[in-house]
Amino acid sequence: MFTLAHEMGPRYTFLSLSNKNQPVVYSDYVIFVAEVASTCNEALLMQYLLAHTDDKKEKAYLINYFLEQFPTTLYRQTMFAEFELKCSEICASGDTLTADKLCEIYGDLNKLYFGDGIVLDEDIKMEWARIPHFYYDFYVYQYATGYSAAIALSQRILKEGAPAVKDYIEGFLMGGCSADPITLLKNAGVDMSTTKPVTDALALFGDLIKQMDELGK
């Protein structure tokens, strides 16, 4: 069900909205817009399911599923983006990137992001070599920022209803490539030029942890 909701995001956006409301030159969408549409669908589905169950085990399962997306998308993909940035800065300075240097950078970032709460396997420093996104040009940040934007959109839709839905469809989904993604999101009521979408997403993360703690009691 979540896979269907995810994939309907860009498909519906392109086939039913931007393709019918934009000239051909602007009818397509960029990856960032697709990620936001997909993840917003998932967030809405999740919060619908949580609101329509009284089964504590089912609710705990759903909350755990939701919680997993925050560290894997918001935190880990940000760490990936920082790794890419550090590597690019080294190249731009004229220094050479070696496998040992890449391992050192990646290992240090894992220590920084995960802290003392877990024991890091020594081999984690080699993980960079198996992540295909690092062989593209700055892609992973779109996961973290897109997820924050999607959470903000879904929260606004759930709180404000029809006006928020109208802004989302007409201001964002119908836009295609007629404007950059940040402008399209502003049209939908989400300003990614500020930290608010990220802090709001983290606030939801904290609230979900509290809900899980209560269920555990």
Counting every residue, how long is the chain? 217
Active-site pick, 7, 89, 104, 160 = 7
Neighbours of 35 (CB within 10 A): 23
84 is catalytic: no
Contact between residue 53 and residue 59 where contact means Cβ atoms under 8 Å apart:
yes
The radius of gyration of the chain from alpha carbons, rounded to an integer in Å, stands at 19
Of the chain, the end-to-end C-alpha distance in Å amounts to: 29
| Spatial separation of the C-alpha atoms in residues 17 and 175, rounded to whole Å | 8
Contact between residue 216 and residue 205 where contact means Cβ atoms under 8 Å apart:
no
Neighbours of 48 (CB within 10 A): 12
Instruction: Point out the residues that are catalytic.
Output: 7
